Structure 1
């Protein structure tokens, strides 16, 4: 019994655990809600080493900021891996195109985008891209020359080159890259010798 004037006894409420925690530190359920993922997905990311976590007394917790960084790093790594694989696949395909063009020229046929598209069962745009990438290798390997190079090496103007390549005994182009035609250097040399030194 208390006399008048005495204050009633009060008891401070103990704060619950969530109010004491750093707001950045979250549980699996809370992290799943924040990222709009399922708890199972969070567990899989954790088990695969994608995201870091803390084990406090058998309770798994995460730093939300750290997890966001981890996921961003993982996404960047995946993009880099996909790009590297794509480049590797492209390089392998370009090597196949080079070998196909080499064989085509040996057989006396002209290397064109249409021929590449038909052989590799790809679109004409992709065939043109592969041909553009493969052309420098084939030009060096087969010692090919373009009209511009024929003019430069033999001191001819474009009209003379045009007339030269339209002769009945002129060689046919063996490679077409865009609008550029390439010819065997040896055949062009023999043609010029026939013209300059007729029998």
Structure 2
């Protein structure tokens, strides 16, 4: 009977201790953000509440009903730590029954920006990164296209120059052939007469002939 009575008393005390209820308005915040801690004991009227962060007393708030609402800044919740991100365990105690609430964890980032500003900065940074990749992609396509066009233009010009050279070489060869087929003659006319007779003299070892007209 004594053990059963002790068990009932323990269960009763556990129920009493579990009466306090703590809720927070924001579980992730920066040093400059604020969050509301609401400590309630719905079974009875409470006079005030004490609030703790990692067992540190961070403040108290009076109540005229069964709840206390305490607004605290992220900088006060984090304390003196120098870490970039800290997880803080928050509790409250309702007075005068001294019921302790369950633990609630809050993440505090060591930056002096609000959550909305952080989100805006992240969105803007993402857009700028995407634009940078898009500009690089367009530049690569533009350079590749211009290189292909330049190579085609260079090939066309080289082909045109080859055709011109072939035409020039062909013309030179034809001119050389025509020039080789020409026969040169030198005509000396000293006077015309009835008894004059033309004479043709060929120079030895040449294709030239001299025509003499007396």
Q: Which has the higher helix share?
A: 1
State whether TM-score is above 0.5: no
Point out the structure with max Rg over C-alpha: 2
